[in-house]
Amino acid sequence: MKVDHVKLATSNTGKLREYQRLAPNSPIVLELMTEFASTPKFDEAAPTFAENAAGKAIYYSQFTVSVVLAEDSGLVVPALDGRPGVHSARYAGEKATDVDRNRKLLEEMRGLSGEQRRARFVCVSALAERGRALAVVSDFVEGLIARGPRGTGGFGYDPIFFVPDLAKTFGEATPEEKDRLSHRGKAFRKMLAAIEEHDFPARAAARQ
């Protein structure tokens, strides 16, 4: 397959670096969507990760001729009826920090133990071109909510998400360890396989 370009529906350079790290040998060239900052923001108000991811990809793909990749991800805790779920980034308020969100979750889980502390990180990735969805994939990683933050790596809920297969939190894990097991890493590798199998970007370019 020839090298093609995929635009990420974000202006976050850190997220771009993470995606590039996840696929060092891929023939797909990942770039930031330069139109993202000047485009009216998509309202991620749907009740599921899949609807938000697909909706975001479809929406932003209408503002560029390139194929667009978008995602929605978050932490699901069954003992809290699935919270924080699709509201993971806004769980403690729009302007809350990672520390604020972790503190709120730990407070809500006070008194819970064993299986009650089970949780999973979920990621849904969607690919779209000119307002049409091309592929939607998802994956997850199971873990436990730790009693308190551990480690300084990663971001978001990583310091309190304990992964039994690593015997450490994602906050304590190396980038390589996290990439191998993370929900985002697994979902993104599925998407790369779909792109290469169906040649989506090349087909899109042919229609331009």
Q: What is the pTM of this model?
A: 0.88
Distance CA 172, CA 1 (A): 37
pLDDT category at 21 given cuts 50, 70, 90 is: confident
Sort strands 28-32 and 4-8 into parallel, antiparallel or unpaired: parallel
**Is pLDDT larger for residue 13 or for residue 102?**
102
In percent, the amount of the chain with pLDDT more than 90 equals: 72
Contact indicator for 58, 30 with CB cutoff of 8 Å = no
> Is it the case that residue 203 has pLDDT exceeding 70?
no
**Is pLDDT larger for residue 120 or for residue 192?**
120
Architecture of domain 4-207: Alpha-Beta Complex (3.90)
pLDDT recorded at residue 1: 35
Domain assignments of the chain as residue spans, ordered by start:
4-207
Phi-psi region of 32 (alpha: psi -120 to 50; beta: other; left: phi over 0): beta
pLDDT recorded at residue 200: 55
Catalytic residues: 72
Contact indicator for 154, 173 with CB cutoff of 8 Å = yes
> Is it the case that residue 204 has pLDDT exceeding 50?
no
Mean pLDDT rounded to a whole number for the chain: 90
Structure tokens at 177: 């360890």
Distance CA 179, CA 202 (A): 27
Mean pLDDT, rounded, for 97-111: 96
Sort strands 67-76 and 28-32 into parallel, antiparallel or unpaired: unpaired
> Is it the case that residue 202 has pLDDT exceeding 70?
no
> Is it the case that residue 107 has pLDDT exceeding 90?
yes
Burial 17-45 (b: 16+ CB within 10 A, else e): ebbeebbeebebebebbeebeeeeebebe
- Structure confidence by residue, pLDDT tens digits, 151-183: 999 889 999 999 999 999 999 999 999 999 999
Contact indicator for 179, 19 with CB cutoff of 8 Å = no
Sort strands 118-129 and 67-76 into parallel, antiparallel or unpaired: antiparallel
Mean pLDDT, rounded, for 86-112: 94
Which residues are 143's β-sheet partners? 119
